[in-house]
């Protein structure tokens, strides 16, 4: 006859193994939250908290010197009725529509060139990426000197070939194109991301396309572009967000002029916040910019299934 263990010992043996993982999980979770606490507090105190405060301030009249006074939607109504607001929105839209595709095209072209294997290529890659780590204010001052109408390098070079260069930053027809041109200075980061995407494309696909008789252009159109669509999607989202928030170049180089030709939304916000001390109105502009960026980003995300290719999805099918 087989002996059975006492009931109490069975209960103990069954419960003890179950308690140890719970204690270990609790201890590990505690340590994890302790290490995450600085980041969580930073997010709440310096990001989420100020964002909520700015949302409340957008419904008030606040000039820093006196307590905020609740005025409801008056700031938003005034914003949509102001001609300078629509001018700033127009300038930001033109800048984004032109500079983002132009920057993506230039970055992709540079990435293709830098993807070749040759001696000293690492030096060239470093040279093209270097401008992205230079101070924005310093770069803006450099471009302000280059575009100077009298002694700027650009007009001097144009004069050498018989072209009378315009007064770039003093002419409202040329000020915004000049800033769009300066935006191409920082395509090194986008180029680096495209370069990483190019190096992730299997070489066998190019060899198969070459066997099928595809030339360089057909290989680029049928292999490179589809397999880079996810990288292009990432760079497009970052480009839109960055273009709609551009501030340094417009503020340092042109101060929003001439005749508001380079009055970006960010410059318009700065003027009302720190020149006119109209913080409530500035907060309303900031939240409009946030909603605009979020809407455009969502549109790009919604359109991605129609043009973004993911190799993992193709394998799953």
Q: What is the pLDDT of residue 88?
A: 97
Contact, 104 vs 232, CB < 8 A? yes
Q: What is the largest CA-CA distance in the chain?
A: 113
| DSSP SS3 for 87 | helix
Kindly list the domain boundaries of the chain, sorted by start residue: 7-57, 74-316
When pLDDT is cut at 50, 70 and 90, the band that residue 8 belongs to is very low
Q: Where are any strands of DSSP class E within the chain?
A: 60-61, 69-70
- Cα separation, 44 vs 40, whole angstroms: 6
Compute the mean pLDDT over every residue in the chain, rounded to the nearest whole number. 89
% of the chain with per-residue pLDDT over 90: 74
For residue 309, how many C-alpha atoms fall within 13 Å in the half-sphere facing its CB?
A: 13
Q: What is the pLDDT of residue 9?
A: 47
Cα 10 from chain centroid? Answer: 61
pLDDT surpassing 60 at residue 104: yes
When pLDDT is cut at 50, 70 and 90, the band that residue 250 belongs to is very high
Neighbours of 132 (CB within 10 A): 15
pLDDT surpassing 90 at residue 245: yes
Q: What is the pLDDT of residue 21?
A: 53
Neighbours of 89 (CB within 10 A): 19
- Cα separation, 250 vs 263, whole angstroms: 7
The domain 74-316 having CATH identifier 3.40.1180.10: the answer here is: no
% of the chain with per-residue pLDDT over 70: 90
pLDDT surpassing 60 at residue 229: yes
Evaluated on CA atoms 285, 290, 295, 300, the torsion sign reads positive
Nearest to 200 by CA among 93, 310, 90: 310
Reported as a single tens digit per residue, the pLDDT across 19-58 is 455 555 677 888 888 999 999 999 889 999 999 999 999 9
Who's near 225: CB < 8 A, 6+ residues apart?
Answer: 232
Q: What is the pLDDT of residue 16?
A: 46
């Amino acid at each position: 006859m087989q002996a059975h263990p006492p009931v109490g010992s069975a209960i103990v043996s069954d419960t003890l193994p179950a308690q140890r993982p719970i204690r270990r999980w609790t201890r590990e979770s505690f340590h994890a939250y302790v290490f995450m606490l600085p980041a969580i507090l930073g997010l709440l105190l310096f990001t989420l908290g100020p964002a909520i405060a700015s949302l409340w301030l957008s419904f008030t009249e606040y000039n820093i010197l006196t307590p905020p006074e609740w005025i409801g939607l008056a700031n938003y109504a005034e914003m949509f009725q102001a001609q300078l607001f629509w001018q700033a929105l127009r300038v930001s839209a033109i800048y984004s529509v032109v500079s983002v595709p132009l920057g993506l095209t230039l970055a992709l072209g540079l990435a293709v060139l830098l993807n070749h294997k040759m001696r000293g290529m690492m030096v060239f890659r470093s040279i093209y990426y270097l401008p992205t780590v230079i101070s924005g204010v310093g770069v803006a001052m450099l471009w302000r000197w280059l575009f100077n109408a009298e002694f700027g390098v650009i007009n001097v070079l144009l004069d050498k070939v018989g072209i009378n260069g315009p007064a770039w930053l003093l002419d409202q027809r040329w000020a915004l194109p000049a800033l769009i041109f300066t935006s191409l200075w920082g395509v090194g980061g986008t180029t680096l991301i495209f370069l990483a995407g190019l190096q992730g494309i299997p070489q066998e696909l190019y060899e198969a396309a070459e066997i099928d008789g595809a030339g360089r252009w057909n290989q680029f159109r049928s292999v490179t572009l589809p397999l880079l669509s996810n990288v292009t999607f990432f760079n497009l989202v970052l480009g839109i967000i960055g273009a709609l928030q551009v501030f340094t170049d417009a503020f340092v180089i042109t101060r929003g002029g001439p005749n508001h030709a380079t009055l970006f939304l960010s410059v318009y916000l700065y003027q009302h916040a720190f020149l006119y001390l109209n913080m409530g109105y500035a907060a309303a502009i900031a939240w409009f910019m946030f909603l605009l960026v979020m809407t455009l980003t969502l549109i790009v995300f919604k359109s991605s299934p129609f043009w973004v290719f993911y190799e993992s999805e193709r394998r799953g099918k």
